[in-house]
Amino acid sequence: MLIRARRPAPHSPVIDLTPIIDMVFLLLIFFLVATTFHQAEREIEVALPAARAAGPISGALRELVINVTQDGRTIVGGEAMTEAALEQLVRQRVAANPAQKVSVRGDRRTPYANVVNVLDICKRAGISQPYLDTVLRE
- Considering the entire predicted model, what is its pTM? 0.58
What is residue 59's predicted lDDT score, i.e. its pLDDT? 42
- What's the whole-number mean pLDDT along residues 20-49? 77
What is residue 84's predicted lDDT score, i.e. its pLDDT? 95
Degrees (nearest 5) of the Cα angle 83, 89, 94?
125
- What integer best gives the mean pLDDT of the chain? 83
Question: Candidates 3.65.10.10, 3.30.420.270, 3.40.47.10, 3.40.50.970; correct CATH number of 46-136?
Answer: 3.30.420.270
Span between the terminal Cα atoms of the chain, in Å: 85
Q: Using pLDDT thresholds of 50, 70 and 90, give the confidence band for residue 134.
A: confident
61, pLDDT greater than 60: no
Q: What is the DSSP letter of 72?
A: S
CA–CA separation, 69 vs 3, rounded Å?
Answer: 87
